[in-house]
């Protein structure tokens, strides 16, 4: 995947939960976000125990599941968005969904690749526990298996993970779950991003967890390729509707 950083700011990856508040809403939201500055879209398959996510995304998953959103419907949504929005789409899921997919993970990879999905973000499967050969299976299908790392990772672990990096590396801006605003220009974070660049070379880096403002997106210029805006968009969607969420994305993009 080519880097998508912009002059004076990082590119933007917009995160949404499939089926929140409906599949039709998600489809329209994804297209609206792409029109308002999202360079990449991250579509989360709703899950009943989203352990990396804070209360806003967890609540969105709960609402989506209650409204009938299924993994298969979420995958179909990704295909529709790819055709309509014209932006690269990464699917975010917890591994149990892939493990339980009819035909297993390899069948999921094949279906996702056929739809044009760029890659998968699976935060609860480190390479050490890859008994089902997830990383190899993704690559064989033409998908990027995105590594997920956080600022407390030691250099030795980064060296172990570097051979698995493909297409994109997703780092959290802090340790914890999604939601609270993060500082992205303090000395510790800048030093951490330098360690990631050293470990992963030219592989694009996306920074998520607590990114919500134009100031943060601009502060990531030169440090990261993508700023992931998620919780703030979903919170705005829940409180004010789709148009307001798209407007917030446009503000973060400096439009």
pLDDT tens digits, one per residue of 210-230? 888 899 899 999 999 999 999
| One-character DSSP codes across 12-74 | EEEEEETTSS-HHHHHHHHHHHHHTT-SEEEEEPP-S--TT--HHHHHHHHHHHHTT--HHHH
Q: Is 42 a catalytic residue?
A: yes
Q: Is 218 a catalytic residue?
A: no
Indicate which residue of 39, 53, 225, 248 is catalytic: 53
pLDDT tens digits for 40-54?
Answer: 999 999 999 887 788
- Domain ranges for the chain: 11-252
pLDDT tens digits for 92-133?
Answer: 999 999 999 999 999 999 999 999 999 999 999 999 888 889
Indicate which residue of 42, 111, 225, 248 is catalytic: 42
Indicate the fold that domain 11-252 takes in CATH. Answer: TIM Barrel (3.20.20)
Whether residue 81 is predicted with pLDDT greater than 50 in this model: the reply is yes
């Amino acid at each position: 995947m080519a880097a998508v950083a912009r002059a004076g700011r990082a590119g933007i990856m917009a995160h949404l939960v499939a089926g929140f508040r409906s599949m039709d809403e998600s489809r329209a939201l994804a297209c609206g976000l792409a029109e308002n500055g999202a360079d990449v879209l991250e579509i989360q398959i709703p899950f009943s125990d989203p352990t990396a996510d804070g209360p806003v995304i967890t609540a969105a998953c709960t609402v989506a599941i209650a409204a009938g959103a299924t993994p298969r419907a979420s995958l179909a949504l990704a295909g529709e968005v790819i055709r309509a929005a014209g932006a690269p789409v990464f699917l975010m899921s917890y591994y149990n969904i892939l493990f339980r997919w009819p035909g297993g993970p390899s069948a999921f990879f094949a279906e996702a690749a056929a739809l044009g999905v760029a890659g998968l973000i699976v935060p609860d499967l480190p390479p050490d526990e890859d008994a089902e050969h997830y990383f190899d299976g993704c690559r064989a299908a033409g998908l990027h298996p995105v590594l997920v790392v956080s600022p407390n990772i030691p250099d030795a672990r980064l060296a172990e993970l570097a051979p698995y990096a493909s297409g994109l590396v997703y780092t959290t801006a802090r340790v914890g779950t999604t939601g609270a605003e993060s500082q992205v220009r303090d000395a510790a974070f800048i030093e951490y991003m330098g360690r990631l660049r050293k470990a992963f070379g030219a592989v694009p880096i996306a920074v998520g967890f607590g990114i919500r403002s134009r100031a943060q997106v601009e502060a990531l210029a030169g440090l990261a390729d993508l700023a992931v805006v998620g919780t703030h968009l979903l919170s705005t969607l829940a409180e004010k509707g789709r148009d307001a969420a798209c407007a917030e994305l446009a503000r973060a993009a400096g439009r």
